[in-house]
DNA sequence: GGCCCGTTCGAACGTCCGTTCGAGTGAACT
DNA sequence: AGTTCACTCGAACGGACGTTCGAACGGGCC
């Protein structure tokens, strides 16, 4: 149960150092998973003593909490920016997917942690993150609903959105920059085409790898 | 590092009890995740003393190993059965997806553990499971490649398959039998339609829920 | 100088975990 | 009756973990 408060409030250099800590924690959580990750390893990664961490953060749980909160906020802000000025529903969805995929490319650690540890937090902290997550989901769900405005009720739009997130979030299980020969924007374009028109119709570039 | 051996070999009632243990372990791993799950809780769930577990299994790691191995084997066997006699590529893919979704419905615990703990094992045990996983992936990848036999090279078929697995495996994050008003077979049909023809083209039943 | 206070840290504390040990049980076999 | 052997278990061991404590450092202010 998180008190949802930092150990102290508002002191100089506080945010900078804390962000540095969150970043180090994200790298460790990403590498070995939240449960296996030890505060000792986070302290080594951040080059801060073990006890030093607790000056900026009240608990290990809080590290995960802030990582998830910042990441979902950033995803949502990015989404709103990338939709600016676009009116065609297909282009709007394409922009949303591009935003999501780009975030993965730029913040692999944090997004992988978010995708993998969705059910790790508990209590208030969980509810708090869940609401951010819901906002983001609903924003994308709205874009999906725009796609078929005059075809009666948008049947299965919720299900389709859930599956779209499946495509996008499973990403971290197979994406390896060294082995995949597609740019992230090409990848986003292919995923958009797949979602909109299906595999049999979508024309696409190539995304094969050497093995598997 | 697993020795990849059981504590003892081939004794009467051995397999039955062991399967019972694996089942209990799968329920616990599913509920709280592999790392947080304690052998004490597994022993309580299986109604066996803590030390008793080690008569059937050499380590906690081995529990996960057998769960994953059995599950991927079962998925692959089910896939081969469900393809029997089908020749139309679209029907074959539909059957594959139905097989996958039905497995989820029937063995939620184990499949959720498999999807969530893909990177938990290490060394030999990891490689062993990984190969089963690869076989299954390649089998489905083969079906995807069948879909466009005379359209030049099947562009992006690997990527499309990876995304298909994303749709199918993310499943466990949102599926809740009490809140989703679709049968598993309907669900599989919708996912097949979405993958083959895309959201804008696929006619579908409804899968909306009350909230979120 | 003397004091405050934000910051850092080494060294511990208490807890929980995976695993092991050694003794005990009872059915099967000689 | 005695021996064997699969099976079961309570009790403990050693280690790793999250967290805390109290002391030290160092720059700004009286």
Which residues of chain B lie closer than 8 angstroms to A201, CB-CB?
Answer: 197-198, 201
Q: How far is the CA of B7 from the C1' of C30 (A)?
A: 29
Minimum-distance nucleotide, CA of A61 to C1'? D18
Which residues of chain B lie closer than 8 angstroms to A160, CB-CB?
Answer: 194, 199
The alpha carbon of residue A27 and the mean position of all alpha carbons in its chain are separated, in whole angstroms, by 14
Q: Which nucleotides in chain C lie less than 7 Å from some protein C-beta? A: 6-12, 16-22
- Contact flag A195-B191 (C-beta cutoff 8 Å): no
pLDDT confidence bin for A207, thresholds 50/70/90 = very low
Q: How far is the CA of B57 from the C1' of D1 (A)?
A: 36
pLDDT confidence bin for B182, thresholds 50/70/90 = confident
Give long-range contacts, CB 8 A cutoff, 24+ apart: A86-94: A89/A143, A89/A146, A89/A147, A89/A149, A90/A147, A90/A192, A90/A196, A92/A143, A92/A146, A93/A143, A93/A144, A93/A146, A93/A147, A93/A192, A93/A195, A93/A196, A94/A188, A94/A189, A94/A192
CA distance, residue A110 to nearest chain B CA (Å): 17
Instruction: Give tens-digit pLDDT for B5-60.
Output: 433 333 444 678 899 999 999 999 999 999 999 999 999 999 999 999 999 999 99
What's the mean pLDDT when you consider all of chain A? 87
- Contact flag B169-A166 (C-beta cutoff 8 Å): yes
Give the residue ranges with Cβ < 7 A from strand D: A 37-40, 50-51, 54, 58-61; B 8, 11-14, 17, 48-52, 55-56
Structural domains for chain B: 64-197 (1.10.357.10)
ipTM of the complex: 0.88
Q: What is the pLDDT of residue B7?
A: 39
Which residues of chain B lie closer than 8 angstroms to A168, CB-CB?
Answer: 166
Instruction: Give tens-digit pLDDT for B98-134.
Output: 999 999 999 999 999 999 999 999 999 999 999 999 9
Q: What is the pLDDT of residue A150?
A: 57
């Amino acid at each position: 149960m998180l008190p949802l408060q930092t150990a102290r409030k508002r002191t100089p250099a506080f945010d900078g150092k804390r962000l540095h800590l969150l970043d180090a924690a994200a790298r460790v959580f990403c590498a070995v998973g939240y449960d296996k990750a030890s505060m000792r390893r986070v302290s080594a990664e951040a080059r801060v003593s073990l006890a030093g961490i607790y000056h900026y953060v009240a608990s290990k749980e809080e590290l995960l909490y802030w990582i998830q909160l910042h990441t979902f906020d950033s995803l949502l802000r990015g989404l709103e920016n990338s939709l600016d000025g676009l009116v065609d529903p297909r282009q709007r969805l394409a922009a949303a997917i591009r935003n999501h995929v780009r975030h993965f490319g730029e913040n692999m650690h944090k997004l992988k942690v978010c995708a993998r540890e969705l059910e790790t937090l508990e209590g208030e902290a969980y509810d708090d993150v869940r609401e951010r997550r819901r906002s983001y989901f609903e924003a994308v769900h709205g874009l999906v609903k725009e796609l078929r405005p005059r075809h009666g009720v948008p049947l299965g739009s919720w299900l389709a959105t859930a599956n779209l997130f499946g495509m996008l979030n499973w990403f971290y299980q197979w994406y390896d920059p060294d082995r995949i020969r597609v740019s992230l924007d090409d990848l986003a374009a292919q995923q958009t085409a797949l979602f909109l028109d299906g595999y049999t119709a979508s024309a696409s570039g190539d995304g094969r790898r050497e093995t598997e």
